[in-house]
Amino acid sequence: MKFHQKISLLHLLTFLFFGNTAFGAVFTLENKCSYTIWPGTLSGNGATILGDGGFSLPPGASVPLTAPPGWSGRFWARTGCNFDDNGNGVCSTGDCGGTLKCTGGGAPPVSLAEFTLGVSGTANTQDFYDVSLVDGYNVGVGIRASGGTGDCQYAGCVTDLNASCPAELQVTASGGGEVVACRSACAAFNAPEFCCTQDHATPSTCSPTKYSEMFKGACPTAYSYAYDDASSTCTCTGSDYLITFCPTSS
């Protein structure tokens, strides 16, 4: 695969199958956290489910997932999970319905890596990707494009927002004490000015708040609220992507 300066067998088979319309991508999910995480994956519009929806990823481990052209979806880290032999259980953050293999999205607060892949030979050749804190934050996440053309910016949130999360947004472990996630202001207060709803449902009427500005100041290349498009949406063409949980630098 491109990240390792070679074409993987899966990538080659994807190209042979799709011919001139091939792009797709190899997503490599990497755990730089000091603890095990359980990545969740969610595909949009009936697209191919990657990684069976979810799996365990120990510290230092990585897993490549190959997506077809036009794929869209998201990845996130679940933490503090306990699953039985049948894959049933619960996670402290990012839980997706009490199952190892997610069929829905992660419960907020959760940091998201979001993608929509392009298809060569069409009007939509660019990949679009971002790291979103709109649903809050649980672990740091970064996206690095490799082998593509275009801007191909780094996107991510490297800062540990749990360490600086205001008390009114904190989610603590069940035993109390440790902050395991930081809620969005929308989730904490459910008010239109924080959720960009009702009279605040357009870019001109929903402005940044002190909470979204705090997220933005800590993580300048991540979405901090619903209309934070200008500095948060990244594009690249024909790239593979390294998604790092708990990145230490950009």
Residue pLDDT, tens place only, 69-120: 999 999 999 999 999 999 999 999 999 999 999 999 999 999 999 999 999 8
Handedness of CA 71, 120, 25, 140 (dihedral sign): negative
Pick from 128, 195, 181, 116: which is nearest to 155 by CA?
128
Collapsing DSSP to helix, strand or coil, 134 comes out as coil
- Residue 155 amino acid letter: A
Collapsing DSSP to helix, strand or coil, 201 comes out as coil
Collect all residues with Cβ–Cβ distance below 8 Å to 46 and sequence separation of at least 6: none
CATH code for residues 2-245: 2.60.110.10
DSSP strands (E only) in the chain:
25-31, 38-43, 62-67, 72-78, 82-83, 89-90, 112-116, 127-132, 141-146, 155-157, 170-172, 179-182, 234-236, 240-245
- Whether the Cβ atoms of residue 156 and residue 141 lie closer than 8 Å to each other: yes
Pick from 23, 67, 27, 64: which is nearest to 49 by CA?
67
Collect all residues with Cβ–Cβ distance below 8 Å to 185 and sequence separation of at least 6: 169, 191, 194, 209, 211, 212
pLDDT over 60 (residue 169): yes
Mean pLDDT of 222-240: 90
Question: What are the domain boundaries of the chain?
Answer: 2-245
**Mean pLDDT of the chain, nearest integer:** 89
Residue pLDDT, tens place only, 36-81: 999 999 999 888 999 999 999 999 999 999 999 999 999 999 999 9
pLDDT over 50 (residue 18): no
Mean pLDDT of 17-35: 78
Give the CA dihedral 11, 27, 131, 120, nearest 10 degrees.
0
